[in-house]
Structure 1
C-alpha cells in the first residue's frame, strides 16, 4: 500500500525503538500532531535492554501503559560474588517506590509491541515504518526534512521540531553536527540470552572473577541472560561458536537442554553528546548518551529524556508556554545523564578487575565497607545511584520554607475519589496537565479569579489531595490519599504544590501564598501575570512575543 505522509506536522520523531515509541505515546496523549518514522519495517525481535527501575515504570505509566501490558520479573536483590571473598556486596531491590517495583527485568520486544499497540488510539500520531530520514535543514519557523518511504519514493515534510531517537549511530545527531564525547571500551563482552533454563535464579548476580567476569540475570518468559567478558586472546568469531557457548554455560546448565535466543559480542561505550538540543533539533536516548550496562540504566535514561522533553514541546506547540522553556531540556537532562554514565563506569571497574591483585584490593575494600552502616547503605539501599533531582532548570529555586524538593520528583501513592471507589495511582489522578495540588485544602479557595483563568489557559488544572478519612467538601476534584505517602507524607495540610506533567515539582508553598505561587509558575513558563480583565490578551501576547 502507498503510504500517505502529511506535508506538515508539529513533531517529526525519528526512531521507533522503545524510547521513540514512548515519546510517540506521550506526544499522542498531549494531542500533538506527530509523524514517527523508523528505517526498519518491524520490531527487532532479539532481546537487548533487560532492566527497568521504578522511575522507568512510572514513565511508562505516564505514556499510557497499564499493569500487565508487558511481562516483568521483580528482582529482590543484586548480588556481587567474588572467588576470593564470596558474596561480598549486594543491593536490596525488593519492594516498591512510588507505586512500582524498585527493579524489574523484562523482554524488550514485548515492551515495544505494547507501546506501538497503544499508538492506534491517538489520531494525531502517524507511524511510517520502513521510512528513512535522508536529509533535513533547520529554518526559522521549522525543520524541512526529506524522507525515503518504503516504496522508494521521496517525500518532503515540514515539522516545527525534529526529535532524533535513532540510536547510537544517530543520523540526526551526525547531520546536525552535534559531537559525541566519551570513549569506547577496549573490552568486548559476549551476551547470551536463553529460554527454558532448568533451576532458574530469581535475582541478578555478578560473578566478579578476574579470569572472566560474568553478570547473570533472570527475565520473564523463562529467560536468563549471561554476559561473558572476552579475554585479550579471544575473538568475536571464536566466542560465538556453538561449542564455545556450550563450554561457557556448562557451570549453570546443560546447553543442549535450553533454547538459545541470541548470542552477540558487544563493545560497550560511555558517551554523552555535547548538547541535547540545537535550535529546533533535539536528541534523546542512545542518540544523546550511551551508558555501559553495569547499572541497567541505559533505557531508563532514555525514558527520562522523553518524559522531560515531550510535555515541553507540547506546551510550546500549543501556545501554552514560551519557546524558551525548551532550553531547560539540555540544562536538566545532560548533567543527570553524565552522572549515570559515570556511575556505570565505576560499577564496571568493580565488576571487571583485570587481574587477581586488583580483585584482591577492590573486592577486599568493598567487603570491609560493608561493615560500616554508612557505606553499606550506599550499595544495599542504592544510595550510590544519582537522585532524579535537577540542579537548575524549569522550576522555582528552593528558598526558605519549601517542603518539597523543587526540581525533584513528586511522590506517587494510591488514592480514591471516595468510599467504595477503586484505588488508582495518583499520577493517573493528576492527568496530563500541569497540576496545582492542594494538600488537604482546595487550591482555588485562595487563588484570584484572574489567575485561575490564566492557569487554565496555560494548561493547568487544580485538585485536592485529602488525608485519609478527611471529609470531601465537594467542588474541585478531590482524592483521598490511601497510602499516607502524599498527605501528610509529602507535605502538611494547607500546602500547595505545582507539579509539571513529567511529575517534577515546579513550585510549592502555603495556601496563603497561592497567588504568588501561580504567578511565579506562569512566569517560569513565559506567561505574564494577567491584569484584571486582560488576562486573555496578555497570554496571547506572551506566546507570540
Structure 2
C-alpha cells in the first residue's frame, strides 16, 4: 500500500467513506467549518429506497447547525401522535409528541422520505468548494501512520485506481462498513431471529393521519403516514412464512387491506429484513473513526438509528476541526467514543424494552399488558410520562470533555444538551437561540452582570474563537455586549436553576460548564485556553 503522501493523487483534511445521510451530514458540518473534505461513495446513483423513515428534535437541531433545517423540513411531516393498540384494535397507550417540548427548538417526532433527504444533503455539500463528492469510488484498502491515512480506491466505471491522503478517515459506510472490515474491528451484540416485511409506497388521494404500533400477538405490525405522500407498513412474519410468500403482490395486498384500500397504493418497496443490536469493539483506530451504522445498529422501535448517527457526526466534527486547527490536542478525539457509546448503549436497551412490549407473542401476556397499561395511566404522573414521551432517553454525557465542577445539582448542567428557546435579536427579529450563537464555542452570561464579569466572559469567548452573548430579561437590560432578549424566560430559569453567572457551550451545544463568576478562571483552565 502506498503511504508516501507525495504519491497520493489528492490530499485533504478528512476523507469520508460513504455518502448516506450520516456521511453527507458530516461533510456539511465539516464544510461549514472550512475543513477540506473528500467523500467517497461506491454507488453511482443516490440511494432511491425509503429505508430510514423518522427523526427527532435533536436531529433537526443538528440539521439547523448545518444550515439545512428549513430545506429539509419542507419535505418532512410532523407527527402529532402515535398509539399502541392490542389485538382487538383497542388503544392501550398514546404518545403525543406534537404537544411535547423537550426544549431543543422542535417537537420530537418527524417523518421524512429518505431519497429527498439525501438529495438535499448532497445539494448542501455543493455550498462548499473545499468539499468534494466522488461517486462510483469503491474503497479497496487503507493504511495509516502517525500523521494520517492513505486510502486506495477504485473508480467502478473506469477501473482506475486512485489514492488520497487525509489527516483523518471517517467510516460512514453503513452496517457492512468496508472501513471497519479493513481495520478488522469486530461487531458484538445480537441479530434477531424475527423477520419483518417492510412496505413503502405512495397513496393516492387524501392520506389518513396515522402512526400505530399494532401489538397483536397474531401479527405485530407498524403503520404510519409519512412525508411526501408516503405510507409505511411493517409486518412481522409468522412461523412457516417465507420471504418469497411475504413479498408476493397478493400477500402484500391482503396485509394492507385492513389499513387502506390497496388500489390506492403505488408500492415502491416491499422487502423482508431482520434487525440487529450491534456495537463495534472500538469506534476509533488511530486516525480512523466509525460513525452511524458502521459503529452501532439498534432495533427500530424508537426510530433512533439514523438520529444516533447524526449525533455521532455532531459530536465528532467540531473536535476534528479543532485538532486540525491546532486548537486542541489529539486526545480530545478520544472523547468521541467516551461520550457517545454510553448513550448509544442506553438507547439500544430502551429499544429492546419497547420491543418486548411491542412483540409479546403470548395472547394472555398481551391481554395482561394492555389491561395493566390502561390501568396505570389513571395515575396522572404515569399518564404524563407516557403521553409526554418522557421515556425517550435524554441526551446527556456523564463523562468526556466537560468541566468537573460548578453546580452541585444532583443532575449537573455539564454534559447536558442546552435548551434552545426563541430569543429576540437587537434587530427585533425572533429566532431560535442557536441562530444567534453561530457554530463555534459560545459563552452566555446575564446582560446585567457586573462589567468585570462580562469582560472576563468576553475574554474567554475570544480565547475560544467563539462568541459572547448576553441574555437580557427585557428590552431595558442591555449592556455593551452583543445581547438577546429572553422572550420566553427559559434562559433566566436555566441560569437560576443552576445558580450560574456564565455558561460555556460546545459547538455541538452540549454544556461544557456553568459556573459562578468567581469560578471562571477554573473553567478557563479546564478549557485549556
2:55 is matched with 52
Residue 64 of structure 1 pairs with residue 64 of structure 2: no
Structure 2 gap segments, 5+ residues each: 1-7
2:4 is matched with none
Taking the aligned partners of 1:197 and 1:341, their CA distance within structure 2 comes to 36
Q: Is the CA contact 2:217–2:360 (under 8 Å) kept in the aligned structure 1?
A: yes
1:70-119 deviation digits (Å, cap 9, x = unpaired)? 41111111100012582111212113442212211111111111111111
Q: How far did residue 357 of structure 1 move?
A: 2.4
Residue 464 of structure 1 pairs with residue 464 of structure 2: no
Residue 409 of structure 1 pairs with residue 417 of structure 2: yes
Q: TM-score, normalised by structure 2?
A: 0.92
Q: How far did residue 454 of structure 1 move?
A: 7.0
1:482 is matched with 487
Size of the alignment, in residue pairs? 516
Q: Is the CA contact 2:447–2:477 (under 8 Å) kept in the aligned structure 1?
A: no
Q: Is the CA contact 1:85–1:364 (under 8 Å) kept in the aligned structure 2?
A: no
Taking the aligned partners of 1:174 and 1:136, their CA distance within structure 2 comes to 11
2:77 is matched with 73
Q: How far did residue 441 of structure 1 move?
A: 4.4
SS class of match (1:487): helix
2:250 is matched with 243
Tell me which of 131, 134, 137 is aligned to 1:131. 137
Taking the aligned partners of 2:345 and 2:210, their CA distance within structure 1 comes to 27
Q: How far did residue 380 of structure 1 move?
A: 1.9
2:213 is matched with 206
Q: Is the CA contact 1:146–1:157 (under 8 Å) kept in the aligned structure 2?
A: yes
1:144 is matched with 150
1:282-312 deviation digits (Å, cap 9, x = unpaired)? 1111111111111111111111110001100
Tell me which of 366, 375, 379 is aligned to 1:359. 366
Distance verdict in 2 for CA 1:491–1:172, change over 3 Å:
farther
Residue 93 of structure 1 pairs with residue 119 of structure 2: no
SS class of match (1:89): strand
Distance verdict in 2 for CA 1:105–1:137, change over 3 Å:
same
Q: How far did residue 24 of structure 1 move?
A: 0.3
Q: What does residue range 325-404 of structure 1 map to in structure 2 within 5 Å?
A: 325-401=332-408
SS class of match (1:47): coil
1:186 is matched with 193
Taking the aligned partners of 2:315 and 2:351, their CA distance within structure 1 comes to 22
Q: Is the CA contact 1:144–1:157 (under 8 Å) kept in the aligned structure 2?
A: yes
Q: TM-score, normalised by structure 1?
A: 0.90
SS class of match (2:492): coil
1:531 is matched with none
1:9 is matched with 12
Distance verdict in 2 for CA 1:85–1:116, change over 3 Å:
closer
Taking the aligned partners of 2:338 and 2:257, their CA distance within structure 1 comes to 48
**Aligned-residue CA RMSD in angstroms?**
2.2
Residue 268 of structure 1 pairs with residue 275 of structure 2: yes
Q: How far did residue 177 of structure 1 move?
A: 1.9
Residue 306 of structure 1 pairs with residue 310 of structure 2: no
1:504 is matched with 510
Q: Is the CA contact 2:471–2:486 (under 8 Å) kept in the aligned structure 1?
A: yes
Taking the aligned partners of 2:186 and 2:154, their CA distance within structure 1 comes to 25
SS class of match (2:219): coil
Q: How far did residue 350 of structure 1 move?
A: 1.1
Q: How far did residue 244 of structure 1 move?
A: 0.7
Taking the aligned partners of 2:433 and 2:170, their CA distance within structure 1 comes to 29
Structure 1 gap segments, 5+ residues each: 528-545
Deviates more, 1:478-487 or 1:233-242: 478-487
Q: Is the CA contact 1:77–1:92 (under 8 Å) kept in the aligned structure 2?
A: yes
SS class of match (2:98): coil
Taking the aligned partners of 2:318 and 2:210, their CA distance within structure 1 comes to 35
SS class of match (1:36): strand
SS class of match (2:34): coil
Residue 230 of structure 1 pairs with residue 237 of structure 2: yes
Q: How far did residue 469 of structure 1 move?
A: 2.4
Taking the aligned partners of 1:278 and 1:427, their CA distance within structure 2 comes to 33
Distance verdict in 2 for CA 1:226–1:318, change over 3 Å:
same
Distance verdict in 2 for CA 1:333–1:204, change over 3 Å:
same
Taking the aligned partners of 1:444 and 1:35, their CA distance within structure 2 comes to 46
2:284 is matched with 277
Q: Is the CA contact 2:448–2:478 (under 8 Å) kept in the aligned structure 1?
A: no
Q: How far did residue 401 of structure 1 move?
A: 4.8
2:523 is matched with 517
Taking the aligned partners of 2:10 and 2:371, their CA distance within structure 1 comes to 62
